[in-house]
Amino acid sequence: MHKPKNKNHLLKIDRLLAFSDGVLAIAITLLILEIKIPKHDDIVHAGGLYNYLYNIWPSYLSYLVSFLVIGIYWSNHHWLFTFIHHTNHIFNLIHIFFLMAVCFLPFTSAILGDYILDPDFKNAATTAYCVGFALPIIPLIILFFYAFHKHRLVGLNLNRKFMNRQIVKLFSGLFLTIIALGVSFYHAFAALAIIGLGILIYLLPPDVPIYDEEKIND
Amino acid sequence: MHKPKNKNHLLKIDRLLAFSDGVLAIAITLLILEIKIPKHDDIVHAGGLYNYLYNIWPSYLSYLVSFLVIGIYWSNHHWLFTFIHHTNHIFNLIHIFFLMAVCFLPFTSAILGDYILDPDFKNAATTAYCVGFALPIIPLIILFFYAFHKHRLVGLNLNRKFMNRQIVKLFSGLFLTIIALGVSFYHAFAALAIIGLGILIYLLPPDVPIYDEEKIND
Amino acid sequence: MHKPKNKNHLLKIDRLLAFSDGVLAIAITLLILEIKIPKHDDIVHAGGLYNYLYNIWPSYLSYLVSFLVIGIYWSNHHWLFTFIHHTNHIFNLIHIFFLMAVCFLPFTSAILGDYILDPDFKNAATTAYCVGFALPIIPLIILFFYAFHKHRLVGLNLNRKFMNRQIVKLFSGLFLTIIALGVSFYHAFAALAIIGLGILIYLLPPDVPIYDEEKIND
Amino acid sequence: MHKPKNKNHLLKIDRLLAFSDGVLAIAITLLILEIKIPKHDDIVHAGGLYNYLYNIWPSYLSYLVSFLVIGIYWSNHHWLFTFIHHTNHIFNLIHIFFLMAVCFLPFTSAILGDYILDPDFKNAATTAYCVGFALPIIPLIILFFYAFHKHRLVGLNLNRKFMNRQIVKLFSGLFLTIIALGVSFYHAFAALAIIGLGILIYLLPPDVPIYDEEKIND
C-alpha cells in the first residue's frame, strides 16, 4: 500500500485557473447590473430619458473604473500563474479569500456610483470604495508569501530579488490604498485621485519573471 | 455494424468539470447580490451611510461564511476528481442534484443574513440555513457510493479503506448538520456554532487517495 | 497565395463547448434568483418565516424541475458532441438560437412558480411554461438535420439509422410538448403531467452512437 | 541570470479565451433578467396573464436581437482567434475595453425593450441602443490595428490585403452605426432598420484567413 507522506500534496493548477476565470468573469459582468434600468417615474422625474441617461454619468464612470480594476486583477492573475504551476489545499483556501475580496468590488462600486454626487454621503461612499479596493490586496500578499516561501509553489530557480520586488510592490499598493482610505473620511475626491493614481500604476505591465542560470525542472 | 453492449457507457470527465466549475463560480459570485445596495431612504433611516454600512454586518458575515462554504465545496470537488476520471449518464444526473443543492445556498444564506438579528425570525432563518447546508451532502453521499461501488468510476486499485473513510466522513457531516437543524428550532446561535464547527472541520485538507500495490491501469 | 475554396470552413469545437458550458451553467444558476428573498412585510403577512418558507413550495418545485430540465439539456449536449467534432459559421448561428431558447427557461419557470397556485392565472402560467419547454427543441432539430445532412459534421461512418432515430425522438418530444401546450389552455395540471412525463423520458440515457463497419477517419 | 529584453512579452492565449468565453456567456445570459417577472398588480393591470405576456413582446424582440448580437460577437471572436495565437499585456488591456463595451449591451437593450413603444421616450431609447451597438466596434478596431501592425500578434505570412479588408469592414460597421445614431434623434424605427441591416451583414460568415505562400512558423 502506498502511504502518502504529506497530507497537503500538490495539485494541478488547471481547475483553480478555470474556477478563477469563471469567478472573475462573473464579477466583472455583474457590474452592469448595478446600472439601474430606469422606471417610468425615474424618467419623468429627470425630465426625459435623454436627461436621465445623462444624469447617471457617475454610474458609467464607476462601471468603467470597476471593470478596469477587475480586468487588471484578472490580467495580473494571468501573469502570476505563468510562474506558479501547482497549488495545494492551503493555497486553494487563501485563493478563495482573494476571490471573495474581488467579488465584493461590485457592491462598493455600486455605492460609489450611486452616492458620489450626494454631498451628505459622498465621503462614506468613497470610504466603502477604498475598503473594497484594499481588500483583495491582503490575501494576494499572503498568496505571494506562501507560494514564494522556500520556493514552495514556484520553480527552484525563480530569482529571489524578483520575488521580493513583487512583495514590495503589493505592500506599496496596500499602503497607498490605506492613505486613500484615511483621506476619504475628509475629502472624497482627493481619496479617489489617489485610487486613480494606483490604477494608473497597475496599468503598467507586470515584471517579467527572472530565472537564475542553473536550470532546475519544476 | 458495431453494436454497443451497454447504454450507460463511460464519458470523459472534462465537460462535467467545466460545467461544475462554471456553476460553482456563478453560485459563489451571486452571493454578493444578496448584499443590497442601499436606497436613499434606507440610508436616511439608518442615520447616514456610515451607520448603514456598519449595521448590515450580518450580511457581510453571511457572505464570508457562504463564500467559504461554496469555496470548500469547490476545493473538495477538485480533490474528488483527482481519483474519479470518468462519468456516465447516471453519475451526470446525480451530479446535477449536487449542483442544484449547492446553488440553493445563496437563498438560505441571504435569509440568514437578513433575519439573524431579528428576535422573531432568527430561529427560522437558522433552520433554513441548516437545511441549505445539509442538502448538498445527500447527493454527495450518493455520488460516492455510486462511483465507489465495485470500483465503477475509480481506479481498480483505489484502496477500499480509503473509500470507506470518505463515506464515513460524509455521514458524520450529515449527522452533525441534522443535529444543528434540530437545535435551530430552539437556539439559533447554538445551531450556528455547530455549523461553524463543521466548517472548521471541512477546512482541514482532505485525505490523499491511497492506492493498493498491484497497479492496474484505469 | 492560398485561396480558400469555401467561406464556411470547419472550425474546432472547443470554444463552442466552452461557451455552451458557460451559458448553460449561468442559466441553471440564475434559477435560484427567481426564489425571492422575503421582505419583512412578506413574512409578517405569511404569519412568520416558517410559514413563509412553507408557502412558497411551488417555487422550490419549479426550481427543482427547471434545474433538472437545463441539467438534462447540458447532459444531452455533452452526449451530442461525442459524435460531432467540428462546427462552422452556420452551425454556430443555429446553436446560438438553441442557447437563446434554453436561457429563456428561467423566465417561464419563474412565472410558473409564482402563479401555478393562483386560480385566475395558473393556465396562462402553464402555457408560458410549455412554450418555454418547446422552444429549445426546434433549433435542436435544425442542428441535428444540419449536422447529419450528408454527414456534414459527423463521422462518415456514423450509422444512418442511428441518426434517423435521434431526429424521430426529437420530433416526438416536440409533439408531446405541443399537446401539453394545447391542454394548458384548459387544464394546467394535466398539461404539467404531460411535461413531467416528457422529463421522465428525457432522464433515460441517450442512445450510444453506432458506427458502420468500414472505418473512415474524420 | 536571464535578463528579459522586453517587459511586454508574449503570453499564451488560452486564458484570454477562457475569460472571454466566460464574460460573453454571462453577458448573453443576463439578457433574460431584463424581462421582468410580472407582479400580481402588473397582471391585473394588463387584464390577465395572457394579455401581459402578449403586451411585453418588445422585450422578447429586444432579447432576441441582443442575444443574436452578443452571439455574433462571440462567433467573430472565435474566428478572430483562429489567426491570433498570442497576447501581451497591452492587448489584454485593450481587450478588457472590448469586453466592457459588450457587457454594456444588456443595459441599452433593456432600455430599448422597455421604451420603444413609448412615444415620448422611443427616440432616446433608440439612441441609447445605437450607442451600445457602436461601443464594442471601437476597441475592436484598435485590437485589429494593434495585432496586425508589423504582424505583431499574427503569423508573419498572414496576407496584408486580408488584414486591410478586416479593418475596412469594421470601419464600415462603425460608420453605419454612427448614421443610425444620428437618425435615432429623429426617427427611432428608421435607426433600428439601419441597425437591423448591420446585424444581417454581421450574420454573413467572416472571411477565411488568407496566408501568403512562403510559410513561416509562428
Q: Which of D29, D43, D79 sits opposite C30 (nearest CB)?
A: D29
Q: Classify each residue of A78-101 as buried b or exposed e, where b means 16 or more C-beta atoms within 10 Å of its C-beta.
A: bbbeebbebbbbebbbbbbbbbbb
For residues A141 and A169, the answer to whether their CB atoms sit within 8 Å is no
Q: What would the pLDDT profile of C193-210 be if each residue is shown by its tens digit?
A: 999 999 898 888 888 888
What is the distance between the alpha carbons of residues B30 and A106, in angstroms, rounded to a whole number? 11
Average pLDDT for residues D22-44, to the nearest whole number?
Answer: 90
| Residue whose C-alpha is closest to residue D123's, from D175, D176, D183, D65 | D183
Do the bridges between strand C11-12 and strand C86-87 make them parallel or antiparallel, or are there none, so unpaired?
antiparallel
Would D217 be classed as within a structural domain? no
Total domains, chain A: 1
Q: What pLDDT does residue A215 have?
A: 53
Identity (one letter) of the amino acid at D60? Y
Cα angle C47-C49-C55, degrees, rounded to a multiple of 5: 75
Q: How confident is the model at residue C81 (pLDDT cuts 50, 70, 90)?
A: confident
Q: How far is D101 from chain A (nearest CA, A)?
A: 9
d(CA D87, CA B169): 45
Q: Cβ contact (<8 Å) for B37 and A34?
A: yes
Is A31's CB within 8 Å of D92's CB?
A: no
Instruction: Find, in chain A, the residue whose alpha carbon is nearest to that of B61.
Output: A100
Residue with cell 482532505: B206
Distance of CA D207 to the CA centre of its chain: 18
Shortest distance, CA A217 to any CA of chain B (angstroms):
23
Residue D103 domain-assigned (yes or no): yes
CB contact at 8 A, D35 and D59: yes
Whole-model pTM: value is 0.88
Do residue C50 and residue B127 have CB atoms under 8 angstroms apart? Answer: yes
Residue C94 has pLDDT above 50, yes or no: yes
Task: Determine the pLDDT at residue B204.
Answer: 86
Disruptive mutation site among B28, B158, B216 for chain A (greatest number of A CBs within 10 Å): B28
The pLDDT value recorded for residue B203 is 86
**Taking 80 as the threshold, does the pLDDT of residue C133 lie above it?**
yes
Q: Which residues from chain A sit within 8 angstroms of residue D6, using beta carbons?
A: 208
CB C86 within 8 A of CB C156: no
pLDDT tens-digit profile of C11-44?
888 889 889 999 999 999 989 988 888 999 999 9
- Distance between CA atoms of residues A137 and B60, nearest Å: 18
Q: Give contacts of C208 with chain B, Cβ < 8 Å.
A: 4, 6-7, 9
Q: A26, B24: Cβ pair inside 8 Å? A: no
Chain C residues closer than 8 Å to D37 by CB: 34, 107, 110-111, 114
Nearest Cβ partner of B32 from A104, A125, A128? A104
Let me know if residue D65 belongs to a domain: yes
Rg of chain D's alpha carbons, rounded to an integer? 21
Interface chains of chain A (3 or more CB pairs under 8 Å) = B, D
- Average of per-residue pLDDT values in chain C: 88
Contacts of C18 in chain D (CB under 8 A): 17-18, 21
Q: Cβ of C75 and B92 within 8 Å?
A: yes
Judging contacts by C-beta atoms under 8 Å, the chain D residues touching residue C15 are 17, 21, 78, 81
D123: distance to nearest CA of chain A, Å? Answer: 9
| Three cell numbers written together for A132 | 473594497
CB contact at 8 A, A24 and A73: yes
Query: Does residue A67 form part of some domain?
Result: yes
Which pLDDT value is given to residue A218? 45
Which residues of chain A neighbour D107 with C-beta distances below 8 Å?
A: 32, 35, 37
Distance from CA of B21 to the nearest CA of C (A): 9
How far is A60 from B41, CA to CA, in rounded Å?
A: 23
pLDDT in tens, B46-64: 999 999 999 999 889 889 9
- Over 80: is that where the pLDDT of D135 sits? yes
- Model confidence band, residue A18 (pLDDT cutoffs 50, 70, 90): confident
Residues of chain A contacting D128 with CB distance shorter than 8 Å: 49, 53
Count CB neighbours of D182 within 10 A. 13
Say which DSSP state C205 is in: P
The answer for A 25-64 residues in CB contact with D (under 8 A) is 25-26, 28-33, 35, 37-38, 40, 43, 48-50, 53, 63-64
Paired with B211 in beta bridges are B158
DSSP states of D125-171: HHHHHHHHHHTTHHHHHHHHHHHHGGGSSB-TTB-HHHHHHHHHHHH
Specify the residue for cell string 413582446.
Answer: D57
CB-based contact A96 B64, cutoff 8 Å: no
| Residue C136 vs residues C27, C28, C132, C170, D154: alpha-carbon distances, Å | 13, 14, 8, 10, 38
Could you report the per-residue pLDDT of A175-185, keeping only the tens digit for each?
A: 999 999 999 99
Cβ contact C189:C207 at 8 Å: no
Domain membership of residue D218 (yes or no) is: no
**pLDDT number for residue D2:** 47
Closest in A1, A23, A89 to B159, CB measured: A1
Which CA distances in Å does C28 have to C131, D17, D26?
A: 18, 22, 12
Rounded to the nearest angstrom, the gap between the alpha carbon of residue C150 and the centroid of all alpha carbons in its chain is 26
| Rg, Å, chain C Cα set | 21
Whether D124 maps to a domain, the answer reads: yes
The nearest alpha carbon in chain B to A125 belongs to B49
The pLDDT of residue D171 is above 90: yes
Phi-psi sector, D150: left (phi>0), alpha (psi -120 to 50), beta: left
Q: How far apart are CA B98 and CA B100, in angstroms?
A: 5
Compute the count of residue pairs across chains C and D with CB atoms less than 8 Å apart. 112
Phi, psi angles (nearest 5°) of residue A180: -60, -40
Contact C26 D29 (CB under 8 A): yes
Q: Cα(A47)–Cα(C124) distance, rounded to whole angstroms? A: 37
C-alpha grid cell for residue D34?
A: 431584463
Mean pLDDT, rounded, for D57-85: 89
Cα distance between residue A39 and residue B94, in whole Å: 42
Helix (H, G, I), strand (E, B) or coil at D204: coil
Beta bridge partners of D138: none
Measured CA to CA in angstroms, residue A76 lies from A214, B180, D8, D14, D16 at distances of 27, 42, 13, 15, 12
The residue of C23, C39, C59, C66 whose CB has the most chain D CBs within 10 angstroms, and thus the best one to mutate to test that interface, is: C23
* Residue D86's pLDDT band (cuts 50, 70, 90): confident
Q: What is the mean pLDDT of residues C157-176?
A: 92
pLDDT computed for residue D214 by the predictor: 60
Confidence of residue C8 (pLDDT cuts 50, 70, 90): low
For residue D151, give the amino acid letter: H
C142 falls in which pLDDT band (50, 70, 90)? very high
Non-local CB neighbours of A86 within 8 Å, separated by 6+ positions = A10, A11, A12, A13, A153
Give which of D75, D82, D207 to mutate to test C binding, by max C Cβ within 10 Å.
Answer: D75
CB atoms within 10 A of CB D94: 18
CB-based contact A103:B28 (threshold 8 Å) = yes
Start-to-end Cα distance in chain D = 27
Which of B18, B107, B127 is closest, CB to CB, to C35?
Answer: B107
User: Closest chain C residue to B31 measured between Cα atoms?
Assistant: C33
Q: Are the C-beta atoms of residues D87 and D11 closer than 8 Å to each other? A: yes
pLDDT digits (tens, 9 = 90+) for A107-146: 999 999 889 999 999 999 999 999 999 999 999 999 999 9
Question: Over the Cα atoms of chain A, what is R_g?
Answer: 21
- For chain B, residues with pLDDT lower than 70 are 1-8, 214-218
Give CA torsion, residues B20, B24, B26, B32, to 10 deg. Answer: 180
- The answer to whether A71 contacts D99, with C-beta atoms less than 8 Å apart, is yes
Nearest to B21 among A15, A27, A120 (CB): A15
The answer to whether position D57 is within a domain reads yes
Minimal CA–CA distance to B132: which of B84, B176, B173, B181? Answer: B181
Q: Which chain D residues contact residue A213 at CB under 8 A?
A: 1-2
For the segment A10-30, the average pLDDT, to the nearest whole number, is 88
Test C127 with D50 for CB contact under 8 angstroms: yes
What are the backbone dihedrals phi and psi of residue B49, each rounded to the nearest 5 degrees, phi first?
-70, -35
* Rounded distance between C-alpha atoms, residue D205 and residue A203, angstroms: 36
Total Cβ atoms within 10 A of residue A208: 18
Domain limits at C81?
11-203
Give the pLDDT confidence score for residue A214 in this predicted structure: 60
- Rounded to an integer, the average pLDDT of A19-48 is 90
Contacts of D17 in chain C (CB under 8 A): 15, 18
In a domain, A175, yes or no: yes
- The answer for D 71-130 residues in CB contact with A (under 8 A) is 88-90, 92-93, 96, 99-100, 103-104, 106-107, 110-111, 114-115, 118, 120-121, 124-125, 127-128
Give pLDDT, residue B218.
45
| Element at A194 (helix H, strand E) | helix A188-203
Distance from CA of B179 to the nearest CA of C (A): 19
Quote the CA–CA distance of D25 and D19 in Å, as a whole number. 10
Region D94-103: what's the mean pLDDT?
94
Lowest mean pLDDT among A3-17, A81-95, A122-136, C130-144: A3-17
Of A92, A107, A118, which has the smallest distance from its Cβ to B32's Cβ?
Answer: A107
Residue with cell 386560480: C119
Which of B85, B95, B16, C75 minimizes the C-alpha distance to A18?
Answer: B16
Instruction: Say what the pLDDT of residue A76 is.
Output: 86
CA distance C150 to C158: 11
Q: What is the pLDDT of residue A8?
A: 66
